[in-house]
Structure 1
Amino acid sequence: MSNVIELETEDRLEYSFFQNNQGIVQFRVRAPNDAHIALSTAAAEVDPMYEVYIGGWGNTKSVIRKNRTKPDVAEVPTPGILDANEFRGFWIRWQNGTISVGRENEIPPFLSWSDSERVNIEYIGVCTGWGATGSWIIEPPRGTGTAPGYQPGRPANLSSVCWVPASNGQVPPRSFAGGEDNGEPVYVVRAQFNGGLIPGKLIPSHGQSYVPWGGAENGVPQYEVLCDFPGQWLAASGGNIPPNALSAGQSEDGEPLYVGRVVHDGALTVGKVQPSHGVCYIAYGGQELSFPEYEILVQ
């Protein structure tokens, strides 16, 4: 999806579908109530499928529904979230079974749900109903459609991302330095550890990477280094994950993990952000330390 899509939807509850397998959709909608978005494996209402209802039930609440079946899997009061005379902006992100819905220019989602089933989302549909018509502006995900090296069809969180296998302190060309320790660059890496793919740090002079896990600083001699990355760091806190955050791995339970960093003991140290825990973990001094305020790596 490289261009803005503009369309009108009638009061019919019939989805208009377009392809999007990028892991995120950003849009603006003008409607009095019931802006419905489908996340589907095909350009049709098929199972498995998710639906996000924004401003349903007379513009009083928003929900996530799976396979067009009640009860809804997630629900939150959102009185007045839509407006019949004004465009309102939103984003929806799907990754590793987690659906997150947020407002434009806001990092934390107001609605989210995690599914144990992994559904391969390929199409997005939009519609209105229950007395509402709608005007839609579907935007390319920020920082992906125009990012250097972007390739259509790749997930948004993987565009322009290169992970290079290395070991024993090796630093591949054009590695991404995310921190500093005693004057030595600290590089962004990830490594397999105890069933997860864990973001962490590489200090070349130590001859290995380190990942935070299980309360400890765990040395891992084999790792992947982030290279050729044009991203930047944003201040964040708690489990607030920006829509364009770099997903760098997953926990042993399948939860997406992101790259974070903090200043501790005079060092700028790279670690992992685990949204459900609301903190950034770093491996430092033999321990896994947690910080509720941190910087997170975005594209």
Structure 2
Amino acid sequence: MANILDVATPNNLEYQFFPVSSGSVQFKVRAPHDAHIALTMGPQELDPMYEIFIGGWGNTKSVIRRNRTKPDKVEINTPEILNGGEFRGFWVRWDSGVVSAGREGESIPFISWADPDPFPISFVGVCTGWGASGTWKIEDGAEFDTVDKLEYKFGPVAAGSLEFDFLGPHNCHICLAPAPAEVDPIYEIILGGWENSKSVIRHCRQKPDKVTVPTPGIMNANEPRKFLIEWRCGTIAVRDGKTGQVLMEWTDPAPFPITHFGIRTGWGAQGQWRIVHFYKAGEQQPLQPPPAAAPLYNNPPGYPSAPPMGGGGAGVWVTASSGQVPPGAVVGGNDCSGEPLYVARAQHESNAIIPGKLVASHGCAYIPWGGQEHGKAEYQVLVGGPNNWVPTNGSNIPPGAFPGGESEDGEPLFIGRVRHEGSITTGKVQQSHGVCYISFAGQELGFPDYEILMS
């Protein structure tokens, strides 16, 4: 069975997003009209963004739109392309800036457009509206039946949670990893192991297990069982999917970014899975940073430090790359999905050092400069530093503000943060401009009211 996501879209034009790992998606939709598909960089309705409207305007035509603006890039007549009483199959593809859609079983698209300024696509959203509700079956091509073989099959994660149904007698294995491969670091969760008698959380495939709990009869070969796994600020929580009860929980003192999940069965067991890793725009995950994560804000004893660049206050800037989060990294806020954002900075334009944000799951830090968001695979993270934020505005830099870098002209830059579109995003404060700049959805945005980091 392929990983088919069953999605119901009410008549409200609100996209539900899920991650994609290739350049296409196949789906079936049952709706009388107005099946909308969004292609985005993140799991929210923000520019840059492609939209494909199938069967709009009373099921008479279809269009491709960019950044929710008119005129539409392409418009064609497609009378009766959708049907409210039966599923119709379609595919959407994107390759080198060419966005196209076609009918199931047809290789030639019925609509296509080449974007001269394309952007990377990581998420697909679906919705219906204008009087239409819809039912979708979305297939991303990954196989999620597991045979009796201890070999993980991987898929991407959208945010800090994974919900699934499992049908099998025992030995339901899930891993959380920074890549689609069974390499360290890795978390492993074994549910119904040891002949369906106990469950464990394991780190880097090493014993002793971090958590062991008795769970007799937790799996059933004749009845699917639902579970929810959440991760936030280093805490891994496993919940019963029906009651929400925490079955196991463990906090890693040195967490790593999680970008993929893996599933497998073994020791005489086969399994059938239904994975849910999509969610509605703006939806927040329920797990909150626990008190046990507080040591992450302190510089661990003996941790190798880098000399401060730009000086000022406690804490050091530690060089990292590719989404690495050094122990003791200062959490400055959270992304729209609830993922922690760390205080980071990176070099730009040869001599500028620009404060920004580290998004571990993206494998890079982002800095705002020149009206755009710039991704940096190499960056520095504030470790063991202050986490005291004071409200201010304009060019009012309070005494004791923590310096975080300098502009290409040598002007000191401070570290600020703002609340925007469900996030708390860190960026740079440039006194001569009177604003805090953040990088967000590919853009540099300026805000006159912000919080500033104090030494």
What amino acid maps onto 1:78 in structure 2? Answer: T
1:184-263 matches, cutoff 5 A: 226-229=419-422
Indicate the structure whose relative CO is greater, using CA pairs within 8 Å and at least 6 residues apart: 1
Tell me the equivalent position of 1:90: 227
Distance 1:50 1:197 in 2: 29
Paired residues of 2:144 and 2:273 also in contact (CA < 8 A):
yes
Distance 1:160 1:20 in 2: 11
Q: CA deviation at 1:197?
A: 5.4
Tell me the equivalent position of 2:242: 105
Tell me the equivalent position of 1:136: 273
Q: CA deviation at 1:74?
A: 0.6
TM-score (norm 2): 0.34
Distance 1:101 1:28 in 2: 13
Q: CA deviation at 1:86?
A: 1.1
Aligned to 1:158, which of 315, 335, 338? 335
Distance 2:421 2:156 in 1: 28
Q: CA deviation at 1:158?
A: 2.7
Distance 1:58 1:15 in 2: 20
Deviations 1:5-51 (A, max 9, x none): 66210010110011225221111110100000011122111111110
SS in 1 for 2:211: strand
The change in CA–CA distance for 1:160 and 1:12 in structure 2 (over 3 A counts) is closer
Q: Based on CA coordinates, which of the two structures has the bigger radius of gyration?
A: 2
SS in 2 for 1:107: coil
Tell me the equivalent position of 2:189: 52
The change in CA–CA distance for 1:26 and 1:160 in structure 2 (over 3 A counts) is closer
Tell me the equivalent position of 1:25: 162
Matched, 1:16 2:153: yes
What amino acid maps onto 1:132 in structure 2? Answer: A
Q: CA deviation at 1:131?
A: 0.9
Distance 1:197 1:86 in 2: 48
Tell me the equivalent position of 2:144: 7
Paired residues of 1:93 and 1:101 also in contact (CA < 8 A):
yes
Tell me the equivalent position of 2:210: 73
Q: CA deviation at 1:89?
A: 0.8
SS in 1 for 2:207: strand
Q: CA deviation at 1:80?
A: 1.1
What amino acid maps onto 2:170 in structure 1? Answer: N
Paired residues of 1:50 and 1:67 also in contact (CA < 8 A):
yes
Distance 1:105 1:19 in 2: 24
Paired residues of 1:6 and 1:135 also in contact (CA < 8 A):
no
TM-score (norm 1): 0.50
Q: CA deviation at 1:141?
A: 4.4
Q: CA deviation at 1:226?
A: 4.3
Paired residues of 2:336 and 2:421 also in contact (CA < 8 A):
no
Distance 1:90 1:198 in 2: 37
Residue correspondences, number? 178
Aligned to 1:116, which of 250, 253, 256? 253
Distance 1:118 1:87 in 2: 31
Distance 1:108 1:196 in 2: 35
Distance 1:51 1:196 in 2: 33
SS in 2 for 1:14: strand
What amino acid maps onto 2:192 in structure 1? Answer: G
SS in 2 for 1:94: strand
Deviations 1:226-277 (A, max 9, x none): 4544xxxxxxxxxxxxxxxx999xxxxxxxxxxxxxxxxxxxxxxxxxxxxx
Distance 1:84 1:198 in 2: 52
Tell me the equivalent position of 1:239: none
Distance 1:105 1:52 in 2: 19
Paired residues of 1:6 and 1:136 also in contact (CA < 8 A):
no
What amino acid maps onto 2:185 in structure 1? Answer: P
Unpaired segments ≥5 residues, structure 2: 1-18, 20-123, 125-137, 284-333, 342-383, 392-414, 426-455
What amino acid maps onto 1:158 in structure 2? Answer: D
Which stretches of structure 1, 4 residues or more, deviate above 6 A after TM superposition?
none
